[in-house]
Every structure is written in structure tokens, then in C-alpha cells.
Amino acid sequence: MSIALSSALRPALSVFAALAMAVLAACSKGDAGKPAAAAAQAHLPTVGVLTVQLGDVGVATELPGRLEASRSADVRARAGGVVLKRLFEEGSSVKAGQALFRMDDSTYADSAATAQAQLAKAQANWAVADAKLKRYQPMAEKNIVSKQDFDLVLATERAAAADLQAAKAQLANAQTNLNRTTISAPISGHIGRALVSEGDLLSANDATVVARVQQTETLYINFTQSAAQVLQMRRDLAAGALQRANGAEAAAVRVVLDDGSIYPNAGRLLFTDMAVDEATGQVKLRAEVPNPQNLLLPGLFVKVRIEQASVPNAVLVPQQAITRGAQSDAVLVVNKDGSFAPRTVQIAKGMGTDWVVTGGLANGEQGLVSGQMTLMPGVEQAQTVPYADLLKHERAALAAPAAASASSAQPASAPKS
């Protein structure tokens, strides 16, 4: 029975020979009186095995996602002019309303001064018209002045009052434009690098972003899942098969980083979209995760792990160890005498690069994980090495050339006088 070997494990084959020689050397030192047995052992291929230890296996679904700031604001100029000075430190925290840039305000200051003068003039005109109206009011009631003269005085006062209101509005508009020459932060948060510098000319109608402020104490994770999986997840949550976030009626999630480590702060699932994408059959989901120390950055791609109830009496087996077929799945089991034979196993689901095996294997048995290509036709026995040791040797072999090249790249120190 032949089993295809994953291309990712082929570098480990180069380690088999070294391990086999080490095993043979140990046997020759410890049992020098059995040269025939040692010679026979030398012809056996070396394979990596996993010793089965059944127990409770925590099952989780991992989905790719992307981090997003809980709140984000692009800062833009609302008045035209030349940037004179940056008023913040890049990468720092800012408060809402804090000044970020100062622009040349000479033109807007002149407009504000002109509007202030127009307001003073309008106030004076209205004061004269209002005083005249107050004198004419009692005389009109006694018919001392004609109704036509009184109406003219009344219209003049109302026109002056309207001019006064227009002057106030023009001054407010001029003052607003003057204030906009100082660009302020719209929200509190962390600000990145300045996207403009002193001397840049900005336009009020331009969409140029001068800086970006983001709130990162809490981050959102956007990811997708198939409609069938979302439906099953809702059923599992209602049945208690999913771990719930603390103090919330929501599923708990974990963030898996690029190096495989788990981010310490657990998050929670916020919502699922109310519609299914007709083109892909996927549903958009969002989770939130606390980020008090700002270790996570918006835009980072991560894996979202939704933890489910553990599977009892199961074991995690690397995927390359199992041959999947239409009728059944099998793994090669290596006996104590080195003989091996296929064994039918039952798989619950996949988790990362492993399968969750729930049946077919017993405690203490050894499943063949790597070295299948060395089991040529006619080979009936093999010598075993723990698969974990093979991985360690493989990583060490891959790291050695890089370390050697880095060491050779360092300049030689000058000789001491």
C-alpha cells in the first residue's frame, strides 16, 4: 500500500540517514556481541512515528480574517492654504479637537476683519433706524405723522435689522473659515505619520488626507464563513457546544498570529451579516478583540479561532499520516517488531494541519507519520524514530546554513595592537 508524502516533509528525508547512523552507532556500542543483528538493522528504513495518547481534544474552527480599527478618521483640510507647521508627534495619542496642523491664515484673518467692520456698520445703521422708529411710533398712534411716513420708517428699520443679521452671518462664516486654518483631530486615538509637510498647498475642495487617527484599544476582525457553517454555528451556540465570551451571549474567539502563537486576550463574535453573498455563498462576520497594549495593528491578517466543545477519547494526527479514501481512511500502524500494516480510522474533522481521529487507534500504538517513501515494495519492517525528534532535526538543519551565512557576513574584527 503506497501513501503519498507531502512535499513539505521531503526535506526531513535527508535527516533519516543521519538518525539511522546514530541509532546504529548506539546499538554497536551497547551490544557489540551481535554484529549480525546490527547489520540487519542497518538495512531497515527509518520512519517517523507518533505515539497515540487518547484524551480530550479541543476542537476549533480557524478562519482567515483581517484586523480593523474600531474607529478610524481621515483628517482632511477644510480650508485652502499653505501648511505652516505640524503640531503633533507622529505615532502619538491625540485627543478630539487637538490641533494637528496650522495653515497660513492671513487671507482669512483679513476677511474676518472686513466682516467685523461690516457688522459694526450694520449695527450703527440699525441703531439709527430703530431710534427713528421709536420716535415715530407714538406720533403715528396719535395721527401726528402720516401713515405713509410711518410705513417708510418701519420698512427702513426692518431693512437695517436684516442687514445686521446678514453681517452677523458673514462674520460667523469668516470666523469659521479662519478657525479651519487650524486642522484638528476629529476623534481621540492614535495618529500615524503626517501625510503632508510644511509648505504644501492644500485646497478646501481637495480630498487630500493629511493624517489618520485610529482607535486601537479595541479592534474588529472581519472574516467570512459559508452559510451552512454559520447556520451550524448558531445551532452549536444555542446548544452550548461553543465556548461563550465572558458575560456575553456570544461565541468566544481567539486570534492566531502568523507565528502560530495565540493572542492572550480573548474576543467575542459580534454579529453575522443578514444576507448571503450570492456569488460566493459566504456570510460576512465580525468579531471584536481587546487590544489594551496595542500589540495588534489594524490591517494585519490573522486567523480567527472559534473554539468548540472538546472531543473525548480522540487524538490529533498530522494530515500527511492519513490516507483518505472514498470508502474509508487509513493510517499505517508500526508494531513493536518493526512490522507495519494499514489501520482504518475514523475522522471527526480537521483542525489546522491535523485530523481529529476519534476511532481506530489505541493508547500506546505508533502511527507512521513520515518516511512512507522509504517503504519500498518488499520492505516488511522499519525502525522508528519519534516524529517530534525528526522535526527538531529538520529545523536545525534548515537553520544551520542561515546561521553560517550570517556569521560569515559579519566583518572581521581588527587585530589588537
Instruction: Kindly report the three-state secondary structure assignment for every residue of the chain.
Output: CCCCCCHHHHHHHHHHHHHHHHHHHHHHHHCCCCHHHHHHHHCCCEEEEEECCCEEECCEEEEEEEEEEEEEEEEECCCCEEEEEECCCCCCEECCCCEEEEECCHHHHHHHHHHHHHHHHHHHHHHHHHHHHHHHHHHHHCCCCCHHHHHHHHHHHHHHHHHHHHHHHHHHHHHHHHHCCEEECCCCEEECCCCCCCCCEECCCCCCEEEEEEEEEEEEEEEEEEHHHHHHHHHHHHHCCECECCCCCCEEEEEECCCCCECCCCEEEEEECCCCCCCCCEEEEEEEEECCCCCCCCCCEEEEEEEECCEEEEEEEEHHHEEECCCCEEEEEECCCCEEEEEEEEEEEEECCEEEEEECCCCCCEEEEECHHHCCCCCCECEEEEHHHHHHHHHHHHHHHHHHHHHHHCCCCCCCC
Q: Please tell me the predicted confidence (pLDDT) of residue 216.
A: 93
| β-strands 182-184, 93-94 pairing | unpaired
Residue 95 is predicted with a pLDDT of 96
Reply yes or no on whether the pLDDT at 17 is more than 70: no
Q: Per residue in 317-371, pLDDT tens?
A: 999 899 998 889 999 999 988 898 999 999 987 777 888 999 999 999 999 998 8
pLDDT at 162 over 90: yes
Share of the chain above pLDDT 70, in %: 83
Provide mean pLDDT across the span 243-260. 77
| Percent of the chain's residues with pLDDT above 90 | 48
Q: Tell me what pLDDT residue 1 has.
A: 38
Residue type, 285: L
pLDDT confidence band for 394 (50 / 70 / 90): confident
Is the pLDDT score of 170 beyond 90? yes
Residue 412 confidence (pLDDT): 53
Beta bridge pairs of residue 381: 339
The answer to whether the CB of 290 falls within 8 A of the CB of 265 is yes
Q: Is the model's pLDDT at 409 over the cut of 90?
A: no
With a cut of 50, say whether residue 5 has pLDDT above it: no
Q: Is 70 exceeded by the pLDDT of residue 390?
A: yes
Give 288-304 pLDDT, tens digit per residue: 999 998 899 999 999 99
What amino acid occupies position 247?
G
Q: What is the pLDDT of residue 41?
A: 53
Q: Is the pLDDT of residue 28 over 60?
A: no
Q: What is the pLDDT of residue 113?
A: 96
pLDDT on residue 13: 40
What's the average model confidence in pLDDT over 131-136? 92
Sign of CA dihedral 351, 353, 354, 355: positive
Q: Does 141 score more than 60 pLDDT?
A: yes
**What is the reported pLDDT for 270?**
85
pTM for the predicted model, two decimal places: 0.60
> What is the chain's mean pLDDT, rounded?
83
pLDDT digit string (tens) for 185-237?
Answer: 999 999 999 999 999 999 887 788 999 999 999 999 999 988 888 887 788 77
| pLDDT reported for residue 208 | 87
pLDDT at 23: 41
- The pLDDT of residue 239 is 76
Ranking 239-248, 249-258, 384-393 by mean pLDDT, the lowest is: 239-248
Cell readout for 75 is 483628517
Higher local confidence (pLDDT), 409 or 51: 51
Is the separation of the CB atoms in 11 and 398 below 8 Å? yes
pLDDT of residue 187: 95
- Render pLDDT for 62-116 as a digit per residue (tens, 0 to 9): 889 999 999 999 999 999 999 999 999 999 999 999 999 999 999 999 999 999 9
What is the mean predicted confidence (pLDDT) over 146-164? 93
pLDDT surpasses 60 at 60: yes
The pLDDT of residue 241 is 66
